[in-house]
Amino acid sequence: MTALNIAERMKALHIQGLTITMIKNKKIFQSEYGVRNKHDQFPVMGNTMFNVCSISKLLTTVLACKLIDEQLLQLDTPINEVVTTWTIPSNTPSTTLTLRQLLSHQSGIIDPPNSFFTLSKTLGLPYSRTTFSWEN
């Protein structure tokens, strides 16, 4: 899809701005289009943050499957042995959750109250109050 086609689709779908990211041969390619919001007209840049919500589940699952295939991750290893910057919430039924349970939505993890906000004209853009990262 060319930039012209993207601009046409954005206009037709009333999209103010977006970032398209592609991972190919272990390299990340990114293109930005449009503005962050229609009020201030600041352009979308490489560091513009978007709330991706459930879209991230697909990418996470694909990457996890690739790492499993390369034998860098195992489905049944407890998550606390792999992830160093996050721990299983105390309100979760099991303290030995595995990647298999997380990927199949069988973990029992409940989002903390008020951890995610929906789009609201009074609150502004949705965001997550929870931030964590994975380390090697």
- Please state the pTM of the whole predicted model: 0.55
53-103 pLDDT tens trace:
777 788 888 889 999 999 999 999 988 888 888 777 777 777 788 989 888
CA distance 58 to 42: 29
* Bridge partner residues of 33 (DSSP): 18
CB atoms within 10 A of CB 129: 9
Which range marks the domain in which residue 28 is found? 1-50
Whether residues 100 and 135 fall in one domain: yes
The reported pLDDT for the residue numbered 123 is: 57
Select from 3, 1, 12 the least CA-distant residue to 33.
3
Per the structure, how many domains does the chain have? 2
Whether residues 26 and 89 fall in one domain: no
Q: Which of 28, 50, 72 is the last residue of a domain?
A: 50
Whether residues 42 and 58 fall in one domain: no
Whether residues 84 and 110 fall in one domain: yes
